[in-house]
Amino acid sequence: MESLTELLDYKLKIDLELAKFFAGIHLEYDQLSTFTTSFIKNLQEFTMRGGKRLRPALLYHSYRMFNKTNLEKVQKLSIFIELIQSFLLIHDDIMDKSELRRGDITIHKLYGQFATENNYQDKENFGNSMGILLGDLANQLAIQIITNSEFEDSKKLQLLGLIFKEISAVIFGQAHDILYSLRTDYTIEDIMFVHYYKTAKYTYEIPIISGAMLAGASVNQLNILRKYSKSAGIAFQIHDDILGIFGDDEITGKPTLSDISEGKHTLLTFIANQKANVEDKKILKEYIGKKDITHIEAEQIKKIIVNTGSLEYSTIIAQEYVKLAQDSLVELKNEINNEVSWQFISDMAKYAVSRNI
């Protein structure tokens, strides 16, 4: 797929932009203290740790679909979405009590270790507090990238308005994710609600609408892109949940036991519970959400998910959402300035269900 080459090429550019950006932040703030220097370094390392840079690439190509000018400005601007992702992931890891992210220690656990090494009391609170602050810093830096960009003030204000509104929606999605994880009366509609607001919004919709809006896309064109983004983002999350249980720890960078031990409500577990026999339902109830679940117990969960047809069903549903996304994008085919970028956006719906990480 040529679009994957485009994605990898853009990743190299974005990594350079991120390195330049953090170098500037160090110049500005390192003078405060040695702790500030290490604080920024930890955010930089976390932000640049792995990742395909899908979100900034979506922003860039959605812009280029409609506008051929200011491409270097767009490239520099597009890194803001990586800082927003860092903000959301760092806070998410605290709420999930996760120990690993992208194959390495999570930020709050890193600072918990720091507290232990320095004999601080209440190391867990210290780690969580520093994680919250570092996530907050990432969010503020994202806003700074937008306000310092080379676009005219009217475009900056328009983009900031979009970001403030849509990140609020992501927060509501996260709030419902936590709420539903504690309830047993959730539905498929509840699961899809969280998939859309927690994942699809910031993975597809925010970057795509940001780029197209800056490029001058019409209201109708933006609405079509929102339809695409919702479907592609839901497919992305369904596949992510599959990887969360059936993926390779070494590739995903996160233990496959964690999704089960956290008791996440997914399409996989919902269908498995519906289709399982009485004995298997007892196993699902006992092991999903068990904090000290073993690999043997997790294998039992996987077996039930496969035997009930839940894995196959979830895979098919994800593919159907990919088709919905790509079909909606066809409406724009005759209204674009760059077919390569249109193809890239279309292919990234399929990428949602083909990636390993």
Residue 182 binned pLDDT confidence (cut-offs 50, 70, 90): confident
- 3-state SS assignment for residue 99: coil
Q: What is the mean pLDDT of residues 163-182?
A: 94
pLDDT of residue 143: 98
187: phi > 0 → left, psi -120 to 50 → alpha, else beta; which? beta
Q: Which two tokens stand for residue 21?
A: 């950006």
- Residue 115: name the closest of 107, 124, 106 by CA: 124
* Residue 130 CB burial class (10 angstroms; 0-12, 13-18, ≥19): buried
**Token pair for 291:** 């904090």
For 337, list phi and psi in degrees, rounded to 5.
-105, -15
Residue 255 has pLDDT above 90, yes or no: no
Are residues 142 and 18 in contact, defined by beta-carbon separation less than 8 angstroms?
A: no
Which of 348, 349, 250 shows the shortest CA–CA distance to 8?
A: 348
pLDDT > 70? residue 246 = yes
Q: Which domains does the chain have, with CATH numbers?
A: 2-351 (1.10.600.10)
Q: How far apart are CA 266 and CA 262, in angstroms?
A: 11
Contacts of 29 (CB under 8 A, 6+ apart): 36, 37, 40
Residue 132, both tokens: 């919250």
Helix or strand run (H / E) with residue 206: helix 206-215
Distance CA 137, CA 206 (A): 20
**Mean pLDDT for all residues in the chain:** 94
Nearest to 196 by CA among 244, 237, 241, 162: 237
> Averaged over 313-323, what is the pLDDT?
97
Q: Hey, how many other C-beta atoms are within 10 angstroms of the C-beta on 278?
A: 6
The structure tokens listed for 232 are: 């592609």
The span from the CA of 341 to the CA of 159, in Å, is 21
* Side chain identity, residue 344: F
Most confident of 284-288, 291-295, 312-316: 312-316
Cα–Cα dist 147/192, whole Å: 34
Nearest-angstrom CA–CA distance, 80 and 76: 9
DSSP characters for 229-272?
A: HHHHHHHHHHHHHHHHHHS-HHHHSS-HHHHHHTT---HHHHHH
Q: What integer pLDDT is reported at residue 254 of this predicted model?
A: 66
Average pLDDT for 31-51: 96
H-helix or E-strand spanning residue 112 = helix 107-117
> What is the mean pLDDT of the segment spanning 197-205?
96
Looking at residue 337, its pLDDT comes to 86
Give the span between the Cα atoms of 114 and 254, in whole angstroms. Answer: 22
Distance CA 106, CA 110 (A): 6
Most confident of 108-112, 184-188, 263-267: 108-112
Phi–psi pair at 104, nearest 5 degrees: -145, 175
Q: Which of 174, 191, 173, 178 is nearest to 318 (CA)?
A: 191
Whether the per-residue pLDDT at 1 is higher than 80: the answer is: no
Judge whether residue 319 has pLDDT over 70.
yes
Residue 256, C-beta contacts closer than 8 angstroms, at least 6 positions apart: 244, 245, 246, 247, 248, 249, 298
Contact in structure between 53 and 204 (CB atoms under 8 Å): no
Q: Read off the pLDDT band of 5 (50, 70, 90).
A: very high
131, amino acid identity: G
- Banded model confidence at residue 357, pLDDT cuts 50, 70, 90: low
